[in-house]
Structure 1
């Protein structure tokens, strides 16, 4: 395998500050992204086009074997638990923006990119 590096950009955005987190990983490896919110009820999204966000997964527990909801086609690729998202077997198509947030009163609040 070529020693190509994959860069997954995760921008962490909140009202107080704006941080950018860049994650580097080799193709074929797994990577875990962490949301800066410590809430276990986290929603994960992926940027599909410049302004379209697709739902990936939602965690209900800090336990990796705990409850989660996910888009069925993404099940082998993504796994969410607590405030973390595991992306398995990184490919070039995984080089995207990932967003996390939590739902408050029916709206996604505190979106972190």
Structure 2
């Protein structure tokens, strides 16, 4: 019995950790500023567009800044890395929790 409960708790912890990690914002640290790219669930394209417009304005004014293409690539890379490990974590937790619940429901009381 203890093993089943421990398995269910571990699976639940994996599920919650995966959801929380996907919900937290992903940010890219540049030399002068930090750009928020979105979360593991969605990409924040509005901030990237604002950063791109600001970069174009900076170029017109002669101020050096990170190229918008580099920022977009860095955001895509950071989001991909977050999703590569958080989605499988969530999936393993969900499968484990469903498996543990199926074991608990399938067990018949003795007596």
Which is strand-richer, 1 or 2? 1
Give 1 or 2 for the bigger CA radius of gyration: 2
TM-score range (shorter-chain normalised) is: under 0.3
Which is helix-richer, 1 or 2? 2
TM-score (normalizing by structure 2): 0.25
TM-score (normalizing by structure 1): 0.25
Higher relative contact order (CA 8 A, sep 6+): 2
